[in-house]
Amino acid sequence: MAGPLTFAFDTSGPHCAAALLSGETLVAAACEEMARGQAERLMDLCAEVLHAGGIGWSDLDRLAVGIGPGNFTGLRISVAAARGLALGLGVPAIGVSNLEAQAFGFDGPVVSTLDARRDHFYLQSFGTADPVAPVLCDLAALPAGLRGTAPLCVGHRAAEIAEQTSGSIGRQTLPVAETIARVAFARGGDRHPRPAPLYIRPADAAPARDKPPVILS
């Protein structure tokens, strides 16, 4: 292989995806659309991508994982897998926001958005004068600092956001796992904080309000 091996995977949405880079060269990748079953499929899919690249787990130099925002269960699956593999293999694991991955490769101010359902979306800006950290919002409540900044808008409802910000529309053509791997490779280094899910919206499920049953001895 021509460069350090970066292996990335992602289950933040209705998919199971993985990609292997050697330096900046894509070696192998796969993405399967699925609404559920990522926990059962992830490790087998990863093994298939590594096999297609002609390497084993012990050959990897770093891992990368999509940390969301996205599906709660999917995020826990992939982040837990990345942490466990990094510990077992003795390699760094790099968490990459899916908003950052979607903005990868574009120059100038970029607004990246992902569908959060219920007419809302997750939004983050890059390269703007007043960068916007990951936030949950809708078209009626865009961060005020974005208006008139003329960013390149990528992702969910990009056309409508571009209209409100005097921006233009961009489209990410690289698959999600590959962009995550490329962001991680660009960061380089061996010291990174442990990946952690990027939760922006509270979980739909809430603790029960009923008092727990009394245990009789």
Give the H/E segment covering residue 120: strand 120-126
Residue 32 has pLDDT above 70, yes or no: yes
Question: 86 Cβ partners below 8 Å, 6+ apart?
Answer: 63, 92, 93, 194
Q: Is 117 exposed, middle or buried (0-12, 13-18, 19+ CB in 10 A)?
A: exposed
Residue 100 has pLDDT above 50, yes or no: yes
| Same fold for the pair 5-98+174-187 and 105-170 | yes
**pTM for the full predicted model:** 0.90
CATH code that applies to domain 5-98+174-187:
3.30.420.40
Question: DSSP class of residue 215?
Answer: P
CATH code that applies to domain 105-170:
3.30.420
23-48 average pLDDT score:
97
Q: Which of the four pLDDT bands, split at 50, 70 and 90, describes residue 201?
A: confident
pLDDT of residue 206: 47
